[in-house]
């Protein structure tokens, strides 16, 4: 007896809409659909996919998705897969409630593993003004009230945490959580991927 499908969220890094390593979201959804995944839905043009699968772990699904993309598109992006429960816990655990007013001030870095020896002191030395961060398990929250591009910390996270990461802003994290809700994935709600 086959197990019921579980909802997952794939976060891809290293794909573009134009230029090198192009992969439009419509094509990405088709690749996953042909690869045996169900209820595939994408969100904006930056590699966010909600899907269902009755087999596999986050790690094995990430490897499978990477291999499918390499076979069809000729390159293998870094893929991180989260369960809906993990994403919900990350959103629920937000230590910066200011993000409720402005989604641009908070980014969640989803980490490939718990950092074994994070260098938080070095990150602290890079903070400016009201910037802040918090490390909670496999999620690094970065609060940037003066703007993400102006923050020196954002491109140092992987270096000082010692693990791979991919970031999504507060709006995207919440949108993916909504998109992965059981009601959003019901057959009568299925639409073409965005």
What is the DSSP secondary structure assignment for residue 16, as one 8-state letter? Answer: B
Q: Among residues 104, 106, 141, which one has the least CA distance to residue 120?
A: 141
Q: How far apart are the first and last CA of the chain?
A: 33
Q: Is the pLDDT of residue 115 over 70?
A: yes
Reduced to 3 states, what is the DSSP secondary structure of residue 28? helix
Q: Could you read off the pLDDT of 3-61 as tens digits, one per residue?
A: 788 999 999 997 765 567 788 889 999 999 999 999 999 998 888 999 999 999 999 99
Tally of helices (H runs) and strands (E runs) in the chain: 6, 8
For the entire predicted model, the pTM comes to 0.90
Q: Is the pLDDT of residue 193 over 50?
A: no
| Residue whose pair of structure tokens reads 């030395």 in the numeric block | 125
Q: Judge contact between 38 and 7, C-beta under 8 A.
A: no
Domains of the chain: 6-86 (3.30.70.1280), 87-174 (3.30.70)
Q: Could you read off the pLDDT of 135-148 as tens digits, one per residue?
A: 999 999 999 999 88
């Amino acid at each position: 007896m086959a197990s019921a499908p579980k909802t997952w969220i794939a976060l891809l890094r290293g794909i573009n809409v134009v230029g090198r390593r192009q992969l439009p979201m419509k094509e990405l959804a088709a690749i996953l659909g042909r690869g045996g995944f169900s209820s595939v839905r994408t969100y904006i043009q930056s590699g966010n996919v909600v899907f269902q699968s009755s087999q596999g772990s986050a790690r094995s699904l990430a490897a499978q998705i990477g291999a499918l993309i390499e076979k069809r598109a000729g390159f293998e992006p870094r893929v991180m897969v989260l369960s809906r429960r993990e994403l919900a816990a990350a959103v629920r655990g937000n230590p910066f409630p200011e993000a409720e007013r402005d989604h641009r001030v908070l980014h969640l870095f989803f980490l490939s593993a718990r950092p074994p020896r994070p260098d938080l002191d070095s990150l602290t030395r890079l903070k400016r003004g009201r910037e802040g961060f918090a490390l909670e398990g496999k999620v690094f929250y970065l609060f940037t009230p003066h703007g993400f591009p102006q923050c020196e910390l954002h491109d140092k996270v992987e270096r000082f945490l010692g693990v791979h990461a991919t970031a999504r802003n507060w709006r995207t994290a919440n949108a993916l959580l909504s998109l992965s809700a059981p009601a959003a994935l019901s057959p009568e709600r299925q639409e073409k991927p965005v």
